[in-house]
Structure 1
């Protein structure tokens, strides 16, 4: 089953919103700079374009996670170039022994695994629902299809004038009357 454009756009919008939103949240929570609103919107548009290209049919969880990992790495790099105020978080605090890159890597990896699991479950549920609806619609169309009505042949006849002598005669056809 192939997805039409409205379904593709809906699926790619969900993928982009979840992926970019969690990437920005994980990047900020790990001590990175928060992306500016303009850069966030640009990232959202880029990921949505990628999602629209890839959302033509049902994707496996492995494909979804692979694309998410690549997206998270690209967004991590892009958010690193975008300027904004950095926040010190518990994951990147020097006292805990995690450096900024390790903390960000772990945060992005956790976000990717959670997002991938969530999106793969949603993808499976959506396609299962579409297959069930498709079967029911096919059955409904087969059951409610109008039966082909055969029409009787249409004949025209001329009215023949009846002779008055024939109208006065009594027809006694049939079985004999009981005596």
Structure 2
């Protein structure tokens, strides 16, 4: 995979796997499910970064850098389009009384608790992204080595088979017809002899004398 297309394929495989694992870990850690636009942007950004960092040969350092940058960007992009809304306060007049609905009041009352729990959620979120990054690096590094090992093994077996068929020498066998021998005299077959005997056999002829 040392060609340009090889690096392109390696980069996009890394990006796709990183986005999938990051989205899964993001949801498991308590985050909202990423919107399609977030996944598309994350995949596009990760693809460009991973292709740019992909070298001619497999490198653990470059793979780690690609996955780390992708995880940081994915955490930020997955927050887009999550559907979160903020409470709206409405009022009448310039200095009129402010009317707050019961649902909005409950949301305002719970803002303190949500802000207090943000640090804990972020800690779990970053821990999940860290685990996802480690899993991605190990899977890609080991997976590519195993893939190329199988390719080399299949190529070696195919080369042995082709070499064996190339060394075979075809042998042509010419059939020699048997010569025809002409008989000097007619030799009756045993069946003809038996028939000659059987035609003369039978009951004795009865003569009637008057």
State the TM-score, normalizing by the size of structure 1.
Answer: 0.59
**Partner residue in 2 for 1:16:** 15
- Which consecutive unaligned segments of at least 5 residues does structure 2 have? 85-115, 167-210
- Which consecutive unaligned segments of at least 5 residues does structure 1 have? 87-93, 146-179
For 1:99-135, what per-residue CA distance to the aligned partner results, in whole angstroms no more than 9, with x for missing partners?
Answer: 0111011100111111110011012223444556677
Q: Alpha carbons of 1:134 and 1:74: their partners in 2 closer, same or farther (altered >3 Å)?
A: same
Show the 5 A alignment for 1:1-179. 2-5=2-5, 8-9=8-9, 11-80=10-79, 82-85=80-83, 99-129=120-150
The count of aligned residue pairs is 141
Q: Alpha carbons of 1:135 and 1:55: their partners in 2 closer, same or farther (altered >3 Å)?
A: farther
Q: Alpha carbons of 1:25 and 1:110: their partners in 2 closer, same or farther (altered >3 Å)?
A: same
Contact 1:33 1:83 in 2 (8 A): no
Q: Distance in 1 between matches of 2:153 and 2:8?
A: 19
Q: Distance in 1 between matches of 2:12 and 2:3?
A: 14
Contact 1:34 1:84 in 2 (8 A): yes
- Which runs of at least 4 in structure 1 moved beyond 6 Å after TM superposition? 133-145
Q: Quick check: which has more Rg, 1 or 2? A: 2
- Structure scoring higher RCO (CA < 8 A, sep ≥ 6) equals 1
